[in-house]
Amino acid sequence: MTSKPSPLSALLPDLSPWRSSRDFRLLWVQGLVTYFGSFMAMVALPLQIKHLTDSPLAVGAMGAVELVPLVVCGLYGGALADAVDRRKVILGTEAALGLLALVLLVNAMLPEPLLWPLYVVAAGVSALAGLQRPALDSLMARIVPHDQLTAAAALNALRWQLGAIAGPALAGLVVAYAGHATAYGTTVACFVVSVLLCLRLSPAPAAHDAERPSLRAIAEGARYAWSRPVLLGTYAVDLAAMFFAYPNTIFPFLADELDAQWSLGLMYAAGSVGSVLLSLTSGWTSRVRRHGLLVVCGAAGWGLAVAAAGWFSHVWLVLLCLAFAGAGDMLSGLGRSTIWNQTIPDELRGRLAGIEVLSYSVGPQLGQVRAGAMAGWTGTRPAVWGGGLACLASVGLLTAVLPRLVTYDATTDEDALRRRAAAGRS
C-alpha cells in the first residue's frame, strides 16, 4: 500500500532529473561552480569601475559595451548549437571565460589598474556567454525526460541562485578586506574546476542533416518564434521586466544613499535568497499546466517588489523587497523555461535558445544603461522605484496584447503535444 505524500514533501523540489541523468548531475555541479566564480567577478567588476571613476554612468556603461557582442554572438551561438557538438561549444567557451578572468586578475595586480581592460573583458564575457548559453539550454531537453522538464528547470534555478547568493555575499567581503585581485583569483580557480567537469560530459552531436550556421538558419529560427504568440509573449515579458526593473548596477550608489555600505553584498544576494526560497518549495510547480500564468504573475511581482525597494528608506525593508523580487523572477523563469522546452522542436532548439539569450540577457544589459542614466538624472531611488512601476505597466500591456500566453495549457497546446510525442519516440 502506497502512503500518501505529506504536504511538506509535495512542496520540496522534485529530484527526478538528478536521479535519472548522469549528464544532468555533471552540468548541475559544473554550473554551481561556474556561477559562484562568475558572481564573484560580477560584483567585483562594477565595484572596481566605481572605485576608479565614482560615476554611476560609467558603471552603467558596462551594459552598453556588452550589448552588441551579446546580440551577435547569441544569435550565432544558437545556429552553432544546432550544427555542431554542443559539448564542444560548452567546453571551449568555458575555457575562454577562464582566460578572461585571468586578464582581470593580472590587471587588478598592477600598481595602478587600468579602466579600459574592464570594459574589454566585459564585452568578451558577453560574447562568450552568447555563444555558450544556447548550447547549454538546448542540451537540457536532450538529457532530461520530457515529463521532468519543469523539475529540471527548478533544480537549475536553485543551482543558479545558490551561486548568486554565495558569490555576491562573499565578493563584497573579499573586495573590502582582500581586494579585487583575490576576488578575480577565486573566479579563475572556479573556471579551472568547471572545465575539468565539462570534459566528463557525454558528446552531444548535431543531427546528420543539420544546417551549417548561417544567416538563413538564424532567420528560420526567428520565423518560427515570430509565428508562435506564446513564445513571443515569454520573450517580450522578460525583456520588458529586465529593461525597466533591473537595478543591480546602481546598488553601490543605493547603499551609499541609505548610509549602509555594509549592505552592498546583501543587496546583490537578496534577490537570490528569495529565488532559493521559492525553488526549495517548488514541488507544486511540477503539477502546473498553465505555465504562461507563472510568467505573467512572476514578472508583475518582480516589478512591484522592485518599486517598493526603491520607495523604502530603511535598508532591511529594501533587502526584504529585493528578496520578494527574486521570488517573482524565479516564478516567471520557471514558466518560461518550461514553455520553451515543452514546445520547441529539437532541430530548432539551439536557434530558439539564441533568441532566448537576447530576451534573457539583453534586457539586463539595457537595464543597466537605463538605471545608470536615470540615476544620474533623477537620483538613485527614483531610478529604482520608477523602473519597477514601468515594469508593472508594461507586463499588463503585453498581457492584453498577447492573450495566448496567459491561456497556454501544456495539456492542450498543439506544439506541446507534438513535442511530447516526439520525445516519446526518441
The predicted-structure confidence for 133-170, as pLDDT tens digits, reads as follows 888 888 887 888 877 877 888 888 788 777 777 777 78
Q: Which three cell numbers stand for residue 165?
A: 547568493
Cα–Cα distance measured from residue 182 to residue 199, given in angstroms and rounded to the nearest whole number: 27
Helix (H) / strand (E) element for 12: namely none
- Side chain identity, residue 117: P
- Please state the separation of Cα 220 from the chain's center in Å: 25
Among 7-16, 78-87, 313-322, which is the least confidently predicted range? 7-16
Cα–Cα distance measured from residue 172 to residue 189, given in angstroms and rounded to the nearest whole number: 18
Residues 26, 83 contacting (CB under 8 angstroms): no
**Residues sharing a CB contact under 8 Å with residue 353, sequence separation 6 or more, in sequence order:** 78, 81, 133, 134, 135, 136, 137, 138, 340
Question: What pLDDT does residue 423 have?
Answer: 61
Summarize the confidence of residues 48-52 as an average pLDDT.
Answer: 88
Put residue 148 in one of left, alpha, beta given phi > 0 → left and psi -120 to 50 → alpha.
alpha
- 3-state SS, 368-397, equals HHHHHHHHHHHCHHHHHHHHHHHHHHHHHH
- Residue with cell string 546598488: 251
Question: What pLDDT does residue 2 have?
Answer: 43
Cα–Cα distance measured from residue 173 to residue 166, given in angstroms and rounded to the nearest whole number: 11
Q: Which three cell numbers stand for residue 425?
A: 519516440
CA dist list (Å): 385 to 73, 91, 181, 382: 32, 40, 34, 5
Indicate whether 408 pLDDT > 70. Answer: yes
Cα–Cα distance measured from residue 327 to residue 278, given in angstroms and rounded to the nearest whole number: 6
pLDDT band at 11 (very low <50, low <70, confident <90, very high): low
Global pTM reads 0.71
Mean pLDDT score across all residues of the chain: 85
Question: What pLDDT does residue 109 have?
Answer: 94
Cα–Cα distance measured from residue 405 to residue 156, given in angstroms and rounded to the nearest whole number: 23
pLDDT band at 328 (very low <50, low <70, confident <90, very high): very high
